[in-house]
Amino acid sequence: MLFYNHYLIRCISLCFLSLFLFTGVSAQTLSSPDGNLFLDVCIDEKGTPTYSLEYKGQKVIEKSRLGFRLLPAVFFNDNFEIVGIKEDSADFVWYPVWGENSAIPDCHRELLVELKQQTTGYLLNMRFRLFDDGLGFRYEFPVQPSLRHFLLADELTEFKLTGDHKAFWLPGDYDTNEYAITTSRLSEIPLLIDEVRKAPLVLKSFTPNLAVQTPLMMKSAQGLYINIHEAALDNYAGMCLNVDPESYLLSTHLTPDKNGVRGYIQTGSVTPWRTIVVSDDARDILASNLILNLNEPCKIVDTSWIKPVKYVGVWWDYFVGRRSFTYTDTKDIVIGETDYFALVPHGRHGATTEHAKEYIDFASENGFDAVLVEGWNEGWEDAVEKGEKERIFNFTKAYPDFDVVEVTRYAKSKGVRMIMHHETCSAVSDYERQLHDAFRFMTDHGYNMVKTGYVGPIIPRSEYHDGQWMVNHYNYVARTAADYKIMVNSHEAVRPTGMCRTWPNWLAQESARGTEFESFAWHKGNNPDHTTILPFTRLMGGPMDYTPGILETDINSSVKLSSTLVKQLALYVTMYSPFQMAADLMENYKKYADAFQFIKDVAVDWDHTYILEAEPGDYITIARKAKGKEEWFVGGITDENGRDAVIDFHFLPSGKQYFATVYADGKNADWQTNAKEYTIRTMKVTSKTKLKQRLAPGGGVAISINIVK
Ligand code: NOJ
Ligand code: CA
């Protein structure tokens, strides 16, 4: 199969499609290539398109309706008739620029249902793609003279579930995804949403609603794992899901703008794909490529400049209260009701030439690719009164104590790249006005990576973070950055939907609650199960800049990290990202130099990924082979409960002996009482080795494996 790169095998075959005509109701069915999934598409008595989905004979989605409500008051979900049906299939392999695997198979069957609304004459197409690991479908609006553009009041897509599944969810919020994850039954969600919204852990200036966010991970009582999200989100609003606690009906809730409009649509366009990944084995959810497969192939012709990055930076300094973002002594940075960096002291600026050089030396000595420096440019003081301002930051003007030319010269002499920081505080229109100047400034100074940030409510004030206008902004920044050969890591942007396949310079996003919540500046904390859920939720859409690697787990006398030291190492493997930070202070890496060795060694780009053990909310164990190298890394993590991970080394080539270095929690380790007790041991392993390894409560295990020379 590997030889069929870029070669799409298309076949028109009626063997997997059948057309039945009932009294005014037509049904089309489609099976997945392996026959495990079965899709049924119907037009019901009212002319409403519906679909249902089965997995190994069990219903996953019961008959659910499709369609839209347009403004003003046109129902675009009934009185449809089918005017055409086309089928297609594909079976090929494509090769991402970077990723969890260096080759990705795309094997699916496709059904295109062409619809006409009898009352209006409007045309609407539905495209379904069925893979072995799930279903994707989207709406397509053909060009048509009687409907050239329209406004969306609502998308009416439904996902009717079969029972009161366990769900891992975040409250719907148009402006942030930085919530703790709640685990509950579907029926409990509406009761709990208010509580979660009011919890002190929430950034109060944001805009919650009564829905939940996607990716939504669920588990049925029968042991089916179901993940609902979207793929290829472009020129359309981000999706939340309304939950009916009695019928277990989820329905689409698009992010509106502040006029209440949920979409400005021109015909000749398509919606994002709605995705349902399903399996009876949780490991398949993590291994799924469905969302990437539904995105467009790479649009960048020369990708030679796009490289995964392991980096350090002037960052944790701010979160543990050592340094200040601002150059001048000013009051705290308060955005909306959130005292953003309440405990950050002032008068000791972080982004100085001298401090940047210390990090450059450290990066160069320890083999890191790049150094991030935040707080380097004019504007941080203005973030205080952000609400009254249009222009906050200047992206081409450094503070007087940060000499960009000298820092770049020094970094270059040490073989290290610099990472630019563009915190916008969500003054987005102004950022767009400055964008070309800002990117030119970067390339003039040798920068090829930018971390963007969208803290606080959006300016223009009519928009939310996850609305159509902002979706277009994030995509525009990634595309424009590609023109300048700049890689992007966006914070506080809408949840990713696999767009990094199309724009692989978009290395990572934050879009969830990261390590920053563990710092005492924010004193909010993450739960020990947080990182056992994120790969099943946030990471389904793409890599996360989680910023792991905090080895000094006692943040201060009263604040502790939610993990053991060793779990911080394991996160480099379990939290996939081609953009990985070693986030702790340099002095802490010197203090725990033997454990730091794992962070120095671990790869950020992979040939193969093997999901060894997984249960959302409980544990994850993953092995990965470094790209182009005979090196493997294993990461295992657990929630607040200790457990024995069973690591089967079957992923190693057989017949050879390898050398494993095992970083393990100490016998009495516990994230709450004794997080920093660890052991490092070496052992010989082969593909036949099975290692039973104890993980402490809130703990982990990290293993690096080399060939025996
Ligand atoms: C929030 C980001 O997540 C964090 O990484 C950054 O340091 C601050 N905003 C300031 O831009
Ligand atoms: Ca953030």
Instruction: Fill in the amino acid letter for 417.
Output: R
Three-state secondary-structure class, residue 25: coil
Does ligand 1 have an atom closer than 6 angstroms to the CB of 430? no
Does ligand 1 have an atom closer than 6 angstroms to the CB of 382? no
Tell me what pLDDT residue 195 has.
Answer: 81
Tell me what pLDDT residue 379 has.
Answer: 92
Measured between alpha carbons, how far is 321 from 405 in angstroms, rounded to an integer?
A: 28
In this model, does residue 347 exceed pLDDT 50?
yes
pLDDT tens by residue, 151-209: 999 999 999 999 999 999 999 999 999 999 999 999 999 889 888 877 655 555 567 67
Does ligand 1 have an atom closer than 6 angstroms to the CB of 555? no
Measured between alpha carbons, how far is 152 from 533 in angstroms, rounded to an integer?
A: 33
Cα 99 to averaged position of ligand 1 atoms, centre (Å): 25
- Name the strand (E) or helix (H) holding 216: strand 216-219
Q: Let me know the angle formed at the C-alpha of 563 by 561 and 565, rounded to the nearest 5 degrees.
A: 95
**Residues catalogued as catalytic:** 516
* Mean pLDDT in residue range 304-332: 86
Tell me what pLDDT residue 365 has.
Answer: 98
Tell me what pLDDT residue 202 has.
Answer: 56
Question: For ligand 1, atom 10, which residue shows the shortest CA distance?
Answer: 423
The pLDDT mean for the chain works out to: 92
Tell me what pLDDT residue 194 has.
Answer: 80
Cα 58 to averaged position of ligand 2 atoms, centre (Å): 40
- Give the residue carrying structure tokens 């037509």: 26
Tokens at 90, concatenated: 């594909």
- Among 376, 491, 538, 580, say which to mutate for ligand 1: greatest number of ligand atoms within 8 Å of CB: 491
Residue 621 region, left (φ>0) first, then alpha (ψ -120 to 50), else beta?
Answer: beta
Whether 292 contacts 498, CB under 8 Å: yes
Does ligand 1 have an atom closer than 6 angstroms to the CB of 453? yes
Work out the number of other CB atoms within 10 angstroms of the CB of residue 18.
Answer: 10
CA of 423, nearest ligand number: 1
Looking at 215-229, 303-317, 378-392, which range is the least confident one?
378-392
Q: Which atom of ligand 1 is nearest to the CA of 514?
A: 3
Tell me what pLDDT residue 382 has.
Answer: 81
Does ligand 1 have an atom closer than 6 angstroms to the CB of 178? no
Q: Cβ contacts of residue 302 below 8 Å, gap of 6+? A: none
More confident residue, 307 or 12: 307
Q: Cβ contacts of residue 675 below 8 Å, gap of 6+? A: 553, 554, 560, 561, 563, 564, 565, 669, 698
Tell me what pLDDT residue 44 has.
Answer: 96
383 CB-contact burial (10 Å; exposed 0-12 / middle 13-18 / buried 19+): buried
Q: Cβ contacts of residue 606 below 8 Å, gap of 6+? A: 99, 100, 101, 102, 624, 625, 626, 627
* Mean pLDDT in residue range 401-416: 98
Measured between alpha carbons, how far is 662 from 642 in angstroms, rounded to an integer?
A: 17
CA of 492, nearest ligand number: 2
Exposure b/e, 467-483, CB count within 10 A at least 16 = b: bbbbbebbbebbbbbbe
Does ligand 1 have an atom closer than 6 angstroms to the CB of 333? no
Cα 84 to averaged position of ligand 2 atoms, centre (Å): 47
Tokens at 344, concatenated: 């950050």
pLDDT tens by residue, 460-486: 999 999 999 999 999 999 999 999 999
Tokens at 513, concatenated: 């609650």
In this model, does residue 608 exceed pLDDT 80?
yes
- Among 205, 334, 373, 516, say which to mutate for ligand 1: greatest number of ligand atoms within 8 Å of CB: 516
Cα 494 to averaged position of ligand 2 atoms, centre (Å): 12
pLDDT tens by residue, 654-702: 999 999 999 999 999 999 999 999 999 999 999 999 999 999 999 999 9
Tokens at 278, concatenated: 């399903």
CA of 521, nearest ligand number: 1
Whether 278 contacts 58, CB under 8 Å: no
- Among 179, 374, 384, say which to mutate for ligand 1: greatest number of ligand atoms within 8 Å of CB: 374
pLDDT tens by residue, 88-127: 999 999 999 999 999 999 999 999 999 999 999 999 999 9
Tell me what pLDDT residue 389 has.
Answer: 82
93 CB-contact burial (10 Å; exposed 0-12 / middle 13-18 / buried 19+): middle
CA of 315, nearest ligand number: 1
Looking at 217-226, 381-390, 640-649, which range is the least confident one?
381-390
347 CB-contact burial (10 Å; exposed 0-12 / middle 13-18 / buried 19+): exposed
pTM given for the model? 0.95
Q: Cβ contacts of residue 3 below 8 Å, gap of 6+? A: none
* Mean pLDDT in residue range 71-84: 94
pLDDT tens by residue, 47-73: 999 999 999 999 999 999 999 999 988
Measured between alpha carbons, how far is 485 from 479 in angstroms, rounded to an integer?
A: 10
Work out the number of other CB atoms within 10 angstroms of the CB of residue 366.
Answer: 17
In this model, does residue 324 exceed pLDDT 70?
yes
pLDDT tens by residue, 511-539: 999 999 988 655 568 999 999 999 999 99
- The fraction of the chain above a pLDDT of 70, given in percent, is 91
* Mean pLDDT in residue range 249-273: 97
* Mean pLDDT in residue range 338-344: 47
Q: Let me know the angle formed at the C-alpha of 419 by 418 and 424, rounded to the nearest 5 degrees.
A: 145
200 preceded by cis ω (within 30°)? no
Does ligand 1 have an atom closer than 6 angstroms to the CB of 516? yes
Tell me what pLDDT residue 10 has.
Answer: 33
Cα 513 to averaged position of ligand 2 atoms, centre (Å): 7
Three-state secondary-structure class, residue 620: strand
Measured between alpha carbons, how far is 448 from 507 in angstroms, rounded to an integer?
A: 12
Cα 428 to averaged position of ligand 2 atoms, centre (Å): 16
Does ligand 1 have an atom closer than 6 angstroms to the CB of 607? no
Tell me what pLDDT residue 24 has.
Answer: 44
427 — pLDDT class (breaks 50, 70, 90): very high
DSSP secondary structure string for all residues of 523-573? -----TTHHHHGGGTGGGGS-B---------B-SSS-B-SS-HHHHHHHHH
List the beta strands (DSSP E) in 267-382. 269-270, 273-279, 309-314, 334-335, 338-339, 370-373
Measured between alpha carbons, how far is 646 from 705 in angstroms, rounded to an integer?
A: 16
Measured between alpha carbons, how far is 414 from 351 in angstroms, rounded to an integer?
A: 19
Tell me what pLDDT residue 197 has.
Answer: 73
